[in-house]
Structure 1
Amino acid sequence: MSTPISSIRNLGPAMEAAFARAGITSAEELRQIGPDAAYARLLETGQRPHFIAYYVLVMGLQGRPWNDCKGDEKAALRKRFDAIKASGHDKGRSDLEAALNAIGVIERRT
């Protein structure tokens, strides 16, 4: 028997549905995959990247409240999040927006 993703601290029905679209259907599977690979799978299915959603996931998998992430730990998670996005998973931008961002014409999305 599998445990619902929404049983993990900080993760509710919306995240459970998003992970189901990414093919991750249980808390056990999410824990086994880990936060970085699981978040990359979310982005691959068209989920827009959002740093707070990422660190909420990380904190939840550690059994911690979402707002427990601060300081150096938060900065380190930001680097991991940016690396996941840079791996080509940011499908939230058009090619034009990506090109304009690359040359510094538009503000970077987070």
Structure 2
Amino acid sequence: MSPARPPSASAPVSTIRNLGPASDASFARAGITSAQQLRDLGADAAYAKLLACGSQPHFIGYYALVMGLQGRPWNDCKGDEKKALRIQFDRLKAENLKNPDAPPAGIEQILNAIDTGTKR
């Protein structure tokens, strides 16, 4: 049996666990076009780039990214780890959105309407 080859430097973002084809497009808009680029930046810097280019913040997307970069399933995030990631996510939002007090849009607006949104 031959040893596993390391992933190509040009492998798409979607080769990272928890990230799919939509992630390829979102990260490309932020100038991140490969899984290696994403790994090199790390979750926080990459997520900040997403926010800076207009992507809507979403906590599950953030922690799925963090878990994926660790090679873990997205739903592995629980308890104190999840609480700490929520604090980090809120900090990233506050630092990278032009108007963090603006009413949420898209899915966040819908989640807020059924009382499962930003209070999560």
TM-score range, shorter chain: 0.7 to 0.9
Indicate the residue corresponding to 1:49 in structure 2: 57
The separation in 1 between residues aligned to 2:64 and 2:41, in whole angstroms, is 16
Larger Rg: 2
Q: How many residue pairs end up in the alignment?
A: 99
- 2:86 is equivalent to residue 81 of structure 1: no
Instruction: Describe the shift of the 1:18–1:93 C-alpha distance in structure 2 as closer, same or farther (beyond 3 A).
Output: farther
Secondary structure, counterpart of 1:64 in structure 2? coil
The separation in 1 between residues aligned to 2:98 and 2:57, in whole angstroms, is 7
- 2:48 is equivalent to residue 10 of structure 1: no
The separation in 1 between residues aligned to 2:91 and 2:80, in whole angstroms, is 17
- Provide the alpha-carbon RMSD of the alignment: 2.1
What is the TM-score normalised by the length of structure 1? Answer: 0.82
1:91, CA displacement in angstroms?
5.5
Runs of 4+ deviating beyond 3 Å: 90-94
Q: Is residue 43–residue 90 contact of structure 1 (8 Å, CA) maintained in 2? A: no
Q: Which runs of 5+ in 2 are unaligned?
A: 1-8, 105-114
The separation in 1 between residues aligned to 2:38 and 2:21, in whole angstroms, is 15
Q: Which runs of 5+ in 1 are unaligned?
A: 99-106
The sequence identity of aligned pairs, in percent, is 64
2:47 aligned to which of 15, 39, 47? 39
Q: Which has the higher contact order (CA 8 A, sep 6+)?
A: 1
What is the TM-score normalised by the length of structure 2? Answer: 0.75
